Every structure is written in C-alpha cells, then in structure tokens.
Amino acid sequence: KMIYRLMDEQKNEDEHKHWCDLELEKTNTSKTDKEQKIGELDAKLDDAKATVGLLTAQITEASDMAADLTAFMKEATEVRTIGKTENAAAITDSRHAQEAISKAIAVLEAFYKDSGMVAKESWEFVQRGAAPVTLPDTPSTWEASYTGVADPANQPDGIITVLKEVSASFATMEADTMAQEETDQSAYQEEMKATEIEKARRAKEAEMKEQEKKRLEDKITSMEKSHKHVSG
C-alpha cells in the first residue's frame, strides 16, 4: 500500500509539474505575442504618422500653388486690360490721324489745282471764255499768289506725297496694332484656360489629400488605443 501511495503521489506531482510547465509556456507565448503585437503597432504608428506629415506638406504645397495661380490670373488680367486699352487708343489715334491727313490732302490738292500746280480732272474744268492775258516784261513776283517752291507730288519736297506716306504709316500702324491685339487676346485666353485647369487640379489634389490625412489620423487614434490596451 505504501508503494501504491508513493506511486500515486509521484503521479500527481508529475501531472502538476506538467500543468505548471504548460502554464509557463502559455505565459511565455503570451508575452512573446504581446511584444510582437506592440512592435507591429509601433511600426504601423510610425509609418502612419510619417505619411500624415508628408500629406500635410503636400497639402500646403498644393494650396499655395492654387493661391499663386489665382494671383497670377489676377495680375495677367490686369496686364491684358491695360494692353487692350492701349491698343484700342492706338487704333483710334491712327484712324483719326488718317482722317485728318486725308482732309489736309484734299485741301492742299484743291489749293494746288486752283494754282495750276496740280492738273484738274476733266470734270473740274468749267468751260468759259477768257480774254487773252498780256504779261509784263518784268512780272512783279511779290504781287503774285504763292504756289509752292516745288512740285507738291515730287518727293522729298512734295507735301502731298509726304502726307500720303505719313497716312500710309498710320494705316500700317493700325493694322499691326489690330493684329497684335488679336494675338495678345488669343494668348491670354489660352493661358487663362490652362491656368484654370491647373488651379482646379491643385485644389482637387489638396482636397483628396486632406481626406486621406483625416482617415489616417482616425486610424492613428484607433491604433494608439489598441497599443494602450495591449501594453496594459
């Protein structure tokens, strides 16, 4: 009986030791799992926080670029308005100059036709009888009307030729200014279109990254709670 009792006690001790070994193994495994989970959470938190920092910088950059594009569009519009006003004034001045020169040429041509320096058109002659004129041997030139020092159509002295060339220069300036205005306006519209597209893209980029940042911040909050729970 003593032997059986000793054997039974030994068996119980062996079973208890086995149970203790199992519990210790479970404890060690649990501790290892806990440390592993904490390590994983730390890594995920570090990665998420780094991404939030990067997103914050990208959001600032995109927002600043959108603001810069808005300022650029405002400045470009102001410059275009000034250019349009100046071109319109130049065109108006050119037209007025041409009109004034045209009137001056008409007056001069009428004067020179009356003086005989410029031939009249056939319809300008009036058929009328005229008594013969006898010229003195020594005409009194100071009593005669002034008819010009040179042929008015003979360059460089001809005033009418000069005026016509000046008028042509104003006409060229008008045409060049109109063409330049058309080119400037077309370039402005294309630039505004491209800038508006880029501005919208930057604004959308900032909006989407802001949403991504918010999701990450919520995730970080959740992971920090889990980290606290596992650590405790």
Tens of pLDDT, residue by residue over 78-113, are 999 999 999 999 999 999 999 999 999 999 888 888
Tell me, yes or no, whether 92 lies in a domain: yes
The model's pTM: 0.61
Q: How do residues 11-67 score in pLDDT, each as one tens digit?
A: 666 665 566 555 555 555 466 677 777 788 888 889 999 999 999 999 999 999 999
In a domain, 121, yes or no: no
Tell me the residue range of the domain where 71 lies.
2-115+151-231
Answer yes or no: is pLDDT of 4 > 90: no
| Within a domain: 82 | yes
With a pLDDT cut of 70, the percent of the chain lying above it is 67
In a domain, 165, yes or no: yes
Q: Is residue 13 part of a domain?
A: yes
Residue 28 is part of a domain; what is its CATH number? 1.10.287
Quote the pLDDT of residue 134. 44
Q: Is 138 part of a structural domain of the chain? A: no
- Structural domains of the chain, count: 1
SS (H, E, C) the chain: CHHHHHHHHHHHHHHHHHHHHHHHHHHHHHHHHHHHHHHHHHHHHHHHHHHHHHHHHHHHHHHHHHHHHHHHHHHHHHHHHHHHHHHHHHHHHHHHHHHHHHHHHHHHHHHHHHHCCCCCCHHHCCCCCCCCCCCCCCCCHHHCCCCCCCCCCCCCCCHHHHHHHHHHHHHHHHHHHHHHHHHHHHHHHHHHHHHHHHHHHHHHHHHHHHHHHHHHHHHHHHHHHHHHHHHC
Q: Is residue 24 part of a domain?
A: yes
Is 173 within a domain? yes
pLDDT grade for 181, boundaries at 50, 70 and 90:
very high
